[in-house]
Structure 1
Amino acid sequence: MTILKLKLDQDQLVEDFFESTHLIGIASSARDYQLCWHINRHLHTNFRVNNTLEITLTKKTRSFHFPVLEFHEPTNSVAHYFYNNHCQAEFLLPELKQIHFLWMIKGDYYQPDDVKKLLEELRRVPLVQLVSLLDIREVRNKMNLIF
């Protein structure tokens, strides 16, 4: 009897997951629920915690849990995900320690001008200190964002 071993092609997984995505970095000293309340109110979104998407990283003997909030636009096939980038003293993306939250837009509806407009609106949201469009190709720990 031959045992077939299947190997997951992580590069292909990453490429597929991040196809048609935009990633925004946000700096804010607020808690995720406080900031999302303001974002929901000012940008007419509806971010809600989805416990099934929570990302758990284990380092040494400790586990760190990074909540993910989500919002799906009702009129098109765009999904928005809002990640915490830190949990206690650990980071989901350690290369971006100055970024507290990540907002990922998945779907091919948003064009660069739409994202630019969203960034401008996000900068006006109370409790937001910094907003930056991130280049996903430069993120080293992309696998940590895949749920």
Structure 2
Amino acid sequence: MSVLKLKLDNDQLVEDFFESTHLLGIASTASDYQVCWHINRHLHTNFRINNSIEITLAKKTRSYHFPIYEFHEATNSVAHYFYNNHCQAEYLLPELKQVQFLWMIKGDYYQPVDVKKLLEELRRVPQVQLVSLLDTKEIKNRMNLIF
């Protein structure tokens, strides 16, 4: 009797996860909960921490925990995820050390013009120093964003 071995195609997994997504990089000196509070207040979002999708990276003998906040739009099946990119001396995406937070929009409702409008609104939020649109295809450690 032969045993069927299944191999996970990581490249396909990454492509599927990032299909219909937009990723924003946010620079701020404030904590994650403070930034989310200001975003919720000014953009009428409802980011809440979701400990069940927190990302844990093991490096050497330590584990690093990266909290994720999320909210879902009721009207258009779009999910928003707010990642903390920094934990102690480690980064979720080491190639983006200048970015403290990442905002991922998942769903095909948002068009580039909607994302541009969101960027402009985010720039007006207190505690946010810089916001930029990131190209997920150029992020080499994007597998770290998959929960």
TM-score by length of 2: 0.99
By how many angstroms is 1:30 displaced?
0.4
Q: Please, which runs of 5 or more residues in structure 1 have no aligned partner?
A: none
Partner of 1:4: 4
SS of the residue corresponding to residue 83 of structure 1 reads: strand
By how many angstroms is 1:2 displaced?
1.9
Partner of 2:135: 135
Partner of 2:28: 28
SS of the residue corresponding to residue 33 of structure 2 reads: helix
Partner of 2:13: 13
SS of the residue corresponding to residue 76 of structure 1 reads: coil
SS of the residue corresponding to residue 113 of structure 2 reads: helix
SS of the residue corresponding to residue 38 of structure 2 reads: helix
Structure 1 ranges of 4+ moved more than 2 A: none
By how many angstroms is 1:3 displaced?
1.9
By how many angstroms is 1:68 displaced?
0.3
By how many angstroms is 1:74 displaced?
0.6
Q: Please, which runs of 5 or more residues in structure 2 have no aligned partner?
A: none
SS of the residue corresponding to residue 6 of structure 2 reads: coil
Partner of 1:110: 110
Deviations 1:86-119 (A, max 9, x none): 0000000000000000000000000000000000
SS of the residue corresponding to residue 126 of structure 2 reads: coil
